[in-house]
Structure 1
Amino acid sequence: METKYYAAVDMGASSGRVMLGWMENGKMQLQEVHRFQNGMVKKDGELCWEHDRIFREVITGLKKCREIGKIPCSVGVDTWGVDFVLLDKEDKPIGNYVGYRDHRTEGMDEEVYKIISLDELYSRTGIQKAIFNTVYQLMAVKKTHPDYLEKAETLLYTPDYFHFLLTGQKVNEYTEATTGQLISAKTNDYDWELIDRLGYPRKIFQKVVMPGTSLGSVRPEVAEEIGYDLEVVVPCTHDTGSAVLAVPANDDDFIYISSGTWSLMGVERKQADTSRKSCEMNFTNEGGYDHRFRYLKNIMGLWMIQSVRHEVNDQYSFSEICDMAEEEKDFPSRVDCNDDCFLSPDNMTEEVKDYCRRTGQRVPENFGQLATVIYTSLADCYAKTAGELEELTGRTYSRIHIVGGGSNADYLNRLTARATKKEIHAGPGEGTAIGNITAQMLKSGEFKSVEEARDNIHASFGIKVYNPDGSVRQ
Structure 2
Amino acid sequence: YLTGEKVWEYTIASTSGLLNAENRDWSKTIFQKLEIPSTIKGELTHPGTTSYFLKDEILKELDISQNIPIVCVPGHDSACAVIGANLDNNSAYLINGTWSLLGVELSKTITDLVGLKKGLVNEGSLEKKIRFMSMTIGTLPLQSLRNQWKKENENIDFKDFSNLAKNSILNNHIEITEEFLITSDIENLIKDKYFKKYRCVINSKEDILRIIYNSLGNNYRESLELIKNLSNKEINNVVLLGGGNQDSFLIEIIRKSFDCSIIIGPIEASVTGNALIQFKSL
| TM-score, shorter chain, exceeding 0.5 | yes
- Which of 180, 192, 201 aligns to 1:342? It is 180
Counterpart mapping for 1:30-109 below 5 A: none
How much is the aligned-residue C-alpha RMSD, in angstroms? 2.6
Q: CA deviation at 1:324?
A: 1.5
In the alignment, which residue of structure 1 is the partner of 2:239? 401
Q: CA deviation at 1:217?
A: 0.8
In the alignment, which residue of structure 2 is the partner of 1:376? 214
- Which of 146, 170, 173 aligns to 1:331? It is 170
In the alignment, which residue of structure 2 is the partner of 1:272? 109
Matched letter for residue 261 of structure 2: E
Structure 1 residue 282 and structure 2 residue 119: aligned?
yes
In the alignment, which residue of structure 2 is the partner of 1:471? none
Matched letter for residue 336 of structure 1: E
Residues 408 and 427 of structure 1 are in contact (CA less than 8 Å); yes or no, is this contact kept in structure 2?
A: no
Structure 1 residue 322 and structure 2 residue 162: aligned?
yes
Matched letter for residue 113 of structure 2: R
Alignment partners' CA distance in 1, 2:205 and 2:4: 48
Residues 124 and 130 of structure 2 are in contact (CA less than 8 Å); yes or no, is this contact kept in structure 1?
A: yes
CA separation of 1:209 and 1:408: change in aligned 2, threshold 3 A: same
In the alignment, which residue of structure 1 is the partner of 2:7? 171
CA separation of 1:194 and 1:359: change in aligned 2, threshold 3 A: same
Specify which structure has the higher proportion of strand.
1
Structure 1 residue 420 and structure 2 residue 258: aligned?
yes
Q: CA deviation at 1:412?
A: 1.1
Q: CA deviation at 1:226?
A: 10
Residues 333 and 361 of structure 1 are in contact (CA less than 8 Å); yes or no, is this contact kept in structure 2?
A: no
Q: CA deviation at 1:252?
A: 1.6
Unaligned ranges ≥5, structure 1: 1-163, 445-474
Counterpart mapping for 1:245-260 below 5 A: 245-249=83-87, 251-260=88-97
Q: Deviations over 1:97-132 (max 9, x none)?
A: xxxxxxxxxxxxxxxxxxxxxxxxxxxxxxxxxxxx
Q: Deviations over 1:192-236 (max 9, x none)?
A: 221221233333334421112224315735873798984432211
CA separation of 1:198 and 1:349: change in aligned 2, threshold 3 A: farther
Matched letter for residue 423 of structure 1: S
Counterpart mapping for 1:300-311 below 5 A: 300-311=137-148
Residues 333 and 363 of structure 1 are in contact (CA less than 8 Å); yes or no, is this contact kept in structure 2?
A: no
Segment of structure 1 superposing worse, 195-204 or 269-278: 195-204
- Which of 75, 85, 98 aligns to 1:261? It is 98
Alignment partners' CA distance in 1, 2:93 and 2:166: 24
CA separation of 1:421 and 1:181: change in aligned 2, threshold 3 A: same
In the alignment, which residue of structure 2 is the partner of 1:291? 128
- State the secondary structure of the residue aligned to 2:13: helix
Corresponding pairs, count = 277
Q: CA deviation at 1:364?
A: 4.0
Residues 256 and 403 of structure 1 are in contact (CA less than 8 Å); yes or no, is this contact kept in structure 2?
A: yes
Residues 171 and 214 of structure 2 are in contact (CA less than 8 Å); yes or no, is this contact kept in structure 1?
A: no
Alignment partners' CA distance in 1, 2:166 and 2:233: 33
Q: TM-score, normalised by structure 1?
A: 0.54
Report the identity percentage: 25
CA separation of 1:177 and 1:345: change in aligned 2, threshold 3 A: farther
Alignment partners' CA distance in 2, 1:360 and 1:223: 68
- Which of 30, 34, 56 aligns to 1:194? It is 30
Matched letter for residue 117 of structure 2: E
Matched letter for residue 271 of structure 1: K
Alignment partners' CA distance in 2, 1:340 and 1:223: 50
Alignment partners' CA distance in 2, 1:371 and 1:218: 52
Matched letter for residue 316 of structure 1: I
Residues 324 and 368 of structure 1 are in contact (CA less than 8 Å); yes or no, is this contact kept in structure 2?
A: yes
Alignment partners' CA distance in 2, 1:310 and 1:225: 43
Alignment partners' CA distance in 1, 2:175 and 2:157: 24
In the alignment, which residue of structure 1 is the partner of 2:41? 205
CA separation of 1:179 and 1:362: change in aligned 2, threshold 3 A: farther
Q: Deviations over 1:287-306 (max 9, x none)?
A: 00010111111121112222
Unaligned ranges ≥5, structure 2: none
Alignment partners' CA distance in 1, 2:15 and 2:89: 24
In the alignment, which residue of structure 2 is the partner of 1:3? none
Alignment partners' CA distance in 2, 1:210 and 1:363: 53
The structure with higher relative contact order (CA 8 Å, sep 6+) is 2
Matched letter for residue 334 of structure 1: H
Residues 90 and 233 of structure 2 are in contact (CA less than 8 Å); yes or no, is this contact kept in structure 1?
A: no
Residues 246 and 435 of structure 1 are in contact (CA less than 8 Å); yes or no, is this contact kept in structure 2?
A: yes
Matched letter for residue 208 of structure 1: L
